[in-house]
Structure 1
């Protein structure tokens, strides 16, 4: 389905609804709704539990359009896209599961959609902005002209972005937009405390447990795996189902 935002949105309906709000699934950077949620079996498990599932591809990702400007992929714009997708689904209330970048965006949803967000699972969330150290000019040159960045971290990000071929320019803009609106965890604005899930070997989430402890009523769940392995593992899927079942 194509949203008014231009985003591609996958919607899955159960054979018999459980009478609970739909679940918005928000994928990570460089991925898409199919890889993070369909291929892992999470979307199927949720529909089997009677939940409607909404899984958009973020702007610049998957089958959604590439951003024309950096402002289109700053955090406020990406979050506004998600609220529009939920509105178009006719959902007043909704739950959310976000992974990595998706969790970063989900953190903003209670403020962007006041009183509407129920349960939240925030997986693979970093306590700092991962792209803060990227040399933006070097990244642009790497994507446009193939000039290898001198900085190893920027070179690694450039390689990740260029692996997406024609989508590389849009993803590089996403890096710029996220870098311009870094994660600065404030108090959780939702009525229901979130559940944080992190892989036991995920270095990207180091320090996030302290942030979780600052949120009244929040839970911290450790599952096996590194950043990618945690998402694809059975323990993460079981945790999502348990949390959303309430």
Structure 2
């Protein structure tokens, strides 16, 4: 049996000893921990609040290894990757800030560790599976043949995002294949603390996220200025994260 390589993780320890659990940051598709969290100021905001931060790159992203099969990057395997990150840190309990694909995976992570997951902020979460309608063979062709774009606008958009990642492109197509095989069909939220949902007022991907609220009684939904990328760089997103995790 081939052993899975661990994810690449950057740990940012708090300046002073803290009794609060570490914060797991989970980025979205075609992103990385650096782009989503360090460059946007989220890491600095949490460190200033006295928190220790665990910032992994999802498999196929950033400095983490590329997947060799779709099974390595389906939703369940990806959630297990995240659980391994907090296990390696030896954290009995952890809080979470996650965005887009990261938020979808954290819903799965809560199933794996319901008694360990604490306060949670989920941004940019789509209530349905964005990759469900993607023809993976067509996507792979579109990624490698820019001169012959796909007639499907969704595939064309995703292919453009993936091509921009250069050498990581093949692994990212495999990520789509794995996620497509385990589409998001949310069960009731398994974590003990209801999550906060953050959506952008101009983010079409989050339309319908309110339908998830009954699955997480006591949860809160906050709308803020921005499209799918704009929310990540909105200072209010960072401020809200600090407040929610310190509540």
| TM-score, normalised with respect to structure 2 | 0.95
Q: Equivalent residues in 2 for 1:126-145 (5 A)? A: 126-145=126-145
CA–CA separation in structure 2 for the residues paired with 1:177 and 1:148:
23
Query: Match of 2:172?
Result: 171
Which segment is superposed worse, 231-240 or 151-160? 151-160
User: 1:33 and 2:37 equivalent?
Assistant: no
| 3-state SS of 1:108 partner | helix
C-alpha distance after superposition, 1:38-87 (max 9, x if no partner): 01111111111111100000000001111010111100110000000100
Structure 2 residue runs of 5 or longer lacking an equivalent are: none
Deviation at 1:214, TM superposition (A): 3.9
| 3-state SS of 1:54 partner | strand
Task: Count matched residues.
Answer: 243
Structure 1 residue runs of 5 or longer lacking an equivalent are: none
Query: Match of 1:193?
Result: 194
**For the Cα contact (< 8 Å) 1:144–1:169, is it kept in 2?**
no
C-alpha distance after superposition, 1:94-128 (max 9, x if no partner): 01111000100111122111310111111100001
**For the Cα contact (< 8 Å) 2:30–2:61, is it kept in 1?**
yes
| 3-state SS of 1:77 partner | helix
Query: Match of 1:92?
Result: 92
CA–CA separation in structure 1 for the residues paired with 2:203 and 2:154:
17
| 3-state SS of 2:193 partner | coil
Deviation at 1:142, TM superposition (A): 2.2
User: 1:108 and 2:123 equivalent?
Assistant: no
| 3-state SS of 2:221 partner | strand
Q: Equivalent residues in 2 for 1:8-19 (5 A)? A: 8-19=8-19
CA–CA separation in structure 2 for the residues paired with 1:214 and 1:68:
34
Query: Alpha carbon RMSD of aligned pairs, Å?
Result: 1.3
Query: Match of 1:70?
Result: 70
Query: Match of 2:238?
Result: 237
| TM-score, normalised with respect to structure 1 | 0.95
Q: Equivalent residues in 2 for 1:197-208 (5 A)? A: 197-208=198-209
